[in-house]
Structure 1
């Protein structure tokens, strides 16, 4: 897809996203908000899985920790301040990600998966078996946070359209941040460590530091998603931190495409849209959903974003013009077969 067509498609999608809450019933506005929140969580996970090559099964823990921080910081009858509670929740998730990442990143492969799974389950049982945050019953967020200055409410998240637009803005900011990170030297170093860690080390890349920074950023973004999930549903429970949640989000990443910035958002839309449609059609919706997911993965190994390539063709590579005052670099002589 050339740049002009890509710009047109993005502009149309953005206009449609902004117009959506004014054109559909409230139920679909809330559903779209949920899709964007889970899509944000999938984007966060994809930073470490797709771009970093680290399969984490504890991102639901960062998601849930932020939700619990909002529940604990919200007064019983008054709305909490978004200015205060959002940084608090995201900071808590980032701190937990820093601790887990500093320990888990000393392992590789299946051991990394198992260590992240173990940490996630530890946090699950911490909230499940202790009473400080409601135990297995969870906790309620009775009122959504608000943005107010000098007593004047600027944004009331109790209104579904306002909540939708705020989440959309946060999602767009996250997409811009991830696109910048992936295209930066930091992103190239992260990809180099993913593709060949030994070579990346030999070239002088601080692999551990790069991976840890990516893990913390990913955990912080997962915390943003968890914060808005708790605000939307008004309830948090230990299940938010369970490995089932992490596995579901991993499926969204795989459906959308591992090496794409926005692909996991499309994967979240596909998976949650399938669930919404199949629930209304059959009681065996989980079985049918599983079969459809298997078919998609087998037919589109690069995710549903591969449909864009099949429709519009591969991206057009732009070759920079050759300046007349700079001599072209001579090509290396061809090496005969059998000679080094």
Structure 2
């Protein structure tokens, strides 16, 4: 008898799923579920669900931008929230000056964040490890204290936005459902853009620098400009989240760019799964949901959340994405 195993008809006719397709299942499921949220809110007659998920998607945009440089470039920025605040203040300051046109205000906010990232990143990226962490924190605190000193724009008390961003003389963001799908579209566009970046030659250089900068330099590639460009792109994406946050809350505050906010963004990325992009979306949702639920239990909800995060890091390496799919993240 032959030792060669025979295939059954069922197994012979089965085509194995593409790894690429398997990797897309979870992201597709995430965006399908998000798209169905307004319908769910209508069925349950609960508008809070829509408002809450808008907030989740806004912070997911910021977390995805951080994951781009943290998960694929190993750049642990402890000042990433500065870009969130710059985007928000770009909208707030211009609205205080009577400029509500989104075709003007949004580009100004994004460019301001990009220029701040270009200048500070050019200096910060000369350092590594804990020095990079501390210098990004220092620059973020500089931005924080600058906004607290802007007495003409509220200072410590923050700034109220009386009208949301307009387009062609209309205010589409005043409608909750329109705001939801605008935010959804921004999140989807940001996610697809970051996936394209990671899959490109640019992304491979960024990942290669994370794995071995010495080997990359040995083949004649300087990772510094790649890191700087990635840093600026991540900053502008995070500023977009700030633009949306300012419009949702109709208020901006120096607290948006505080060091604790940067820490929250890092927690979201770690909780979801570093180096997955869609893990950052899951992490943002999990963090904000747990925060909302635990705050109803105790004002000291961090005492409960802290041990939970430790358990995820210790026993769920790869974050919630690995717990869901069984596949470890790149980070």
Q: TM-score, normalised by structure 1?
A: 0.86
Between the two proteins, the alignment pairs up a number of residues equal to 308
Gaps of 5+ in 1: 316-340
Distance 1:55 1:203, change over 3 A: same
2:291 aligns with one of 255, 272, 275: 275
- SS of 1:125's partner is helix
1:157 is aligned to: 173
Measured against aligned partners, the alpha-carbon deviations of 1:23-43 in whole angstroms (never above 9, x if no partner) come to: 212111111010111111111
Mapped to 2, the partners of 1:7 and 1:96 lie a distance apart of 34
Could you say if the C-alpha distance between residues 7 and 107 of structure 1 is closer, same or farther in structure 2, counting changes exceeding 3 Å? closer
Q: CA deviation at 1:281?
A: 2.7
- Do the aligned partners of 2:84 and 2:239 also contact (CA within 8 Å) in 1? yes
The runs of 5 or more residues in structure 2 that have no matched partner are 1-16
Secondary structure, aligned partner of 2:122: helix
Question: What residue is the counterpart of 2:71 in the other structure?
Answer: 50
Corresponding position: 1:22 with 2:21: no
Richer in helix (by share): 2
Are the aligned partners of 2:87 and 2:110 in contact in 1 as well (CA < 8 Å)?
yes
Shift in Å at residue 262 of structure 1? 1.2
Please tell me whether the aligned partners of residues 27 and 278 of structure 2 are also in contact (alpha carbons under 8 angstroms): no
Pick one of 95, 116, 124 that aligns with 1:96: 116
1:38 and 2:66 matched = no
1:166 to 173, 179, 182: 182
**Counterpart position of 1:137:** 157
The equivalent residue for 2:206 is 190
TM-score, structure 2 normalization: 0.88
* Matches of 1:75 and 1:137, distance apart in 2: 15
Distance of aligned partners of 1:11 and 1:215 in 2 relative to their CA distance in 1, 3 Å threshold: closer
Question: Can you list the C-alpha shifts for 1:81-130, whole angstroms capped at 9, x where unaligned?
Answer: 22221111111111100011011111111111111111011111111123
Cα deviation, residue 10, structure 1 = 4.7
The superposition leaves residues 38-66 of structure 1 with CA deviations (integer Å, 9 ceiling, x where unpaired) of 11111111111111011111111111011
Structure 2: distance between partners of 1:69 and 1:11? 33
**Aligned match of 1:234 in 233, 242, 250?**
250
Q: Following the alignment from structure 2 to structure 1, what is the Cα–Cα distance between the partners of residues 33 and 136? A: 38
